[in-house]
Amino acid sequence: MKLALLFSPFIRMANSVKRTVSPRIRRFFEPKPSDHKYEPGTWKNDSAVQTKYGMVDGYSDKGTWCWKGIPYATPPVGELRWKAPLDTVPWLGTRKTRRFGNSAAQIMLFLGPTGSEDCLYLNIWRPKSSEKELPVYLYIHGGGNSIGSSATSSYFGNAVAKESNLLYVSVNYRLGAMGWFIHPAVTGRGSPEDQSGNYGTLDLVKALEWVRDNIRAFGGNPDNVTIAGESGGAFNVLSLLVSQTAKGLFHRAIVESGLAFIWNIQDAIAQSHRLLVALLVKDGKARNEEEATQLIGKMEEDQINTYFRSKSAFTITRNIPTMDFGMAEWRTLFADGAVLPEEGYSVFSAGEWASKVPIIIGCTKDEMKLFGFFRNDPPLNTPEYDLVWRYHSLLWRANGVDEVATRMTTNSDVPVYAYRFDWGSVDDSGLSVLPGNKGRELGAHHAAEIPFFLGMGVADIAMLTGKTHTKQNQLGREKLTELCMTYLANFAKTGNPNEDSLPLWPAWDNTEDNDKVLVLDADFNDLKLSYLKERITVQAVFDLINSELEETQRGKVLAMIDDFIPFRKQIGESA
């Protein structure tokens, strides 16, 4: 049964991709290119909008206006693969924007290749009203920067637009080795951005530039833009905060379950070399890795460049090892010195990052139980399961929330609002609002907050986990959804989630005994909010493991942690 459930969200995403018309047919019906740009229009409460690049026509969608599949950059194909994105080409006539654009090229678990390298499209929802200068809420989808799409129902903007009175934008961007790739023979020429390897990051910058130049035509305010994202999307929000290329393009940031990792250039080149070796062996040009390495030593740079570019995105992706949910074992976000600083996230401690804007940052209490649920290692509902994924989840919070918030507020006065999302977690009495054993198996798992923050109801991830939203927990769940959306709407409008009628959400305070984290939770019928004063670090989690566990248990837990790739580097520094 669990395996059948596993297919459902991927089938949904695949169907959304299949519903898009093939590129060849679409080009026949789309407006022809133009050799000049236009003056963006003014908002008239209508589906037809004049952008800088041409006219778009959207449609009415559940009390909102909606535009899907608007190109924000030239397709990064052919010679533009592994290059910084370029402005989209203007068009003549009216472009119908009623279908999602292509998702990024990726290999979906069980279902195989989907999407396209031609993937740089965004979507917009806004209230049906004549109101102008609406705050803009730009959402970056998750998926570990190797899978995912903005075209899944969890990320639709109907509720944010209608209930919060915001203009909502979602965006696709290059993923995996198409979005983050450095090899001297391939990326060693061109502008600093072309050589950076951070193409997925630059796609998001280009989307923000498009918003700056065009969003007033939709009634949005380009001087009040909030960027938000969960998981891989949150990794990208953190990276945009430190990127000089994104400076001035957004004014608030929301980081949901992010991790603070930026990899060095040597890591990037090494993984590209491993990919080249794998491709040569797969092609039969070498019998093994040793022969492939010898062959590479004899190849000219132009030969390597031509060889890489001759491979489809799907061929490249197939030759990269995978992890949980089919995510590629491919490091992204490189400290190149042009797009992302060579110092990485240490710029937070120095108070010298590019965009010092108000920030909401947080995680779920049981982040890693989602991964444990499908690994079933250790087996579900055993003491070992509880131990392993408890410590994994604490490490996620330490790296992705507490240490980041501490650094950000050490040498700056930027307001940082931290949360922990607890809905679904087992309480001190061993009870959970989730049905059956789901409280112990999943709890407040990775991505559990998305339907509460975006208001779209049951998340796509529920197709993987089984039903967690029930009639029994509906009343408390709806109250928590309303509270979360109100906090985030206030934050997008003013940079502060608070208002007089709401429970106080305190800003992070490094003082030892002061409240630091707001706990978002509800029981079956009512809100259940609380505050955390403690600050945890990666080192403190390892100290806890060493003090709480006997040697046999400790070895098991540490081995499982070491298997989770994002923590390997920091484990070596902290354990």
Using CA atoms in the order 315, 321, 327, 330, what is the torsion angle rounded to 10 degrees?
Answer: -90
CA torsion through residues 4, 10, 11, 12, sign: positive
d(CA 131, CA 64): 13
Point out the catalytic residue in the list 164, 196, 231, 432.
Answer: 231
pTM, two decimal places: 0.94
- What does the longest C-alpha to C-alpha distance in the chain come to? 71
* Residues ≥6 apart with Cβ < 8 Å to 102: 17, 20, 23, 115, 116, 118, 119, 121, 172
Q: Which two tokens stand for residue 259?
A: 């991790």
Burial class (CB in 10 A: 0-12, 13-18, 19+), 29: exposed
Nearest CA-CA partner of 365 in 416, 425, 417: 425
Nearest CA-CA partner of 316 in 285, 275, 263: 275
| pLDDT in 10s for each residue of the chain, 575 residues | 344 334 444 444 554 444 444 545 555 456 778 777 899 999 999 999 999 999 999 999 999 999 999 999 999 999 999 999 999 999 999 999 999 999 999 998 878 899 999 999 999 999 999 999 999 999 999 999 999 999 999 999 999 999 999 999 999 999 999 999 999 999 999 999 999 999 999 999 999 999 999 999 999 999 999 999 999 999 999 999 999 999 999 999 999 999 999 999 999 999 999 999 999 999 999 999 999 999 999 999 999 999 999 999 999 999 999 998 899 999 999 999 999 999 999 999 999 999 999 999 999 999 999 999 999 889 999 988 999 999 999 999 999 999 999 999 999 999 999 999 999 999 999 999 999 999 999 999 999 999 999 999 877 777 778 899 999 999 999 999 999 999 999 999 999 999 999 999 999 999 999 999 999 999 999 999 999 999 999 999 999 999 998 888 888 788 777 665 455 444 333 33
Report the Cα–Cα distance between both ends of the chain, in Å, rounded.
Answer: 39
Query: Which residues of the chain does CATH 3.40.50.1820 include?
Result: 2-256
pLDDT at 490: 98
d(CA 64, CA 256): 26
Q: What are phi and psi of 60, to 5 degrees?
A: -80, 130
pLDDT at 29: 52
Rounded to whole angstroms, what are the CA distances from 273 to 277, 280, 473, 478?
6, 11, 51, 50
Q: Which two tokens stand for residue 525?
A: 């019928």
The CATH superfamily label for domain 2-256 reads Alpha/Beta hydrolase fold, catalytic domain (3.40.50.1820)
Exposure of 254 in the CB half-sphere (CA atoms within 13 A):
30
DSSP 526: S
Nearest CA-CA partner of 85 in 214, 172, 20, 185: 172
Nearest CA-CA partner of 392 in 412, 409, 370, 376: 370
The residue count of the chain comes to 575
231 noted as active-site residue: yes
d(CA 191, CA 224): 30
pLDDT at 570: 45
Which strands sit side by side in the sheet containing 94-96, from one edge to the other? 48-51, 54-57, 94-96
Using CA atoms in the order 454, 460, 461, 465, what is the torsion angle rounded to 10 degrees?
Answer: 130
